[in-house]
Amino acid sequence: MPTRRDYNTTQRILVTGGAGFLGSHLIDRLLARGDEVICVDNLFTGTKRNITHLLQHPRFEFMRHDVIFPLYLEVDRIWNLACPASPVHYQDDPVQTTKTSVHGAINMLGLAKRVRARIFQASTSEVYGDPSVHPQTEGYWGNVNPIGPRSCYDEGKRCAETLFFDYHRQHGLDIRVARIFNTYGPRMHPSDGRVVSNFIVQALRGEDITLFGEGTQTRSFCYCDDLIEGFLRLMDHEPADGATFTGPLNLGNPVEFTIRELAEAVIDLTGAGSRLVHRPLPADDPKQRRPDITAAQQALGWEPRIQLREGLQQTIAYFDALLKEGKSA
């Protein structure tokens, strides 16, 4: 009996969290290459503004749904991006955050098992916690506080990875797992509490820029377009030897900056007169974060192309327009 794929060469794709920052950029790329996309989002942190330009697209469909509840669709591939990803949002309702990571993974894996779809998990560098190994390789198991204020996100994502690999081993599911390091760009939520959006919004409003601690902690910032390219290469990768390629795979920019250097770059690019003010470090805030992307370079031929100042200029332009429109969500 022929399958749907025998008479329709267009892939039908499900993207959970598709109205979010990264989900909406991913959907743009999927539609541009000819896929049909079902975007699922409960709009807790995502926003319709990110997908307004797609609502009349003939191959796009939006569904308001929370992934902690089962979903029954017929799809070829699943991208599971649903979860609040900034401390402000995931600590707002930590129980819901854990349920989104764990129940959401179970429900999407169950769907993938039923329809035999390849499934992608958007994991995070937070699985490494406050790392004692630097830079972080995929083989590092992490240093995570299981009962701290960030644990709902960190341990939720770690559990999701466990579920993905158990479904792979137990049911032969075709999985891809990416560990995302700090990513920024247009469509970030202006109130998400992430360092790039915080600094840009504060500078554009002429406010002081808040540094937690002395600003000596480090991060590695990857522009969204580079990250989405890595997503697509990982999901589409078919090893020449026919082996299974699951990840987990670090995707991020290996160039490391201190938080103070980021703040100074934002002030320079915006021309703001903002001062740097210091606040105490939040609990369990990692002191350093930089990915080892050797595996992604070797397997996918992928590495970031966009330099920090270039990406910041694009992001500043986005937030400048947003603030001038008087929109804050």
* Euclidean distance between CA atoms 177 and 191, whole angstroms: 28
* Euclidean distance between CA atoms 179 and 94, whole angstroms: 21
Nearest residue to 252 (alpha-carbon basis) of 216, 294, 287, 285:
294
- Within 13 A of 165's CA, how many CA atoms are on the CB side? 12
Q: Which amino acid is at 103?
A: H
264 — phi, psi (to 5°)?
Answer: -65, -35
Nearest residue to 204 (alpha-carbon basis) of 269, 262, 279, 278:
269
* Euclidean distance between CA atoms 285 and 150, whole angstroms: 9
DSSP string of 204-254, one letter each residue: HTTPPEEEETTS--EEE-EEHHHHHHHHHHHHH---TT-------EEES--
* Euclidean distance between CA atoms 243 and 119, whole angstroms: 17
Nearest residue to 219 (alpha-carbon basis) of 278, 169, 268, 286:
286
Residues that are catalytic: 153
Cα angle value 17/329/56 (rounded, 5°): 55
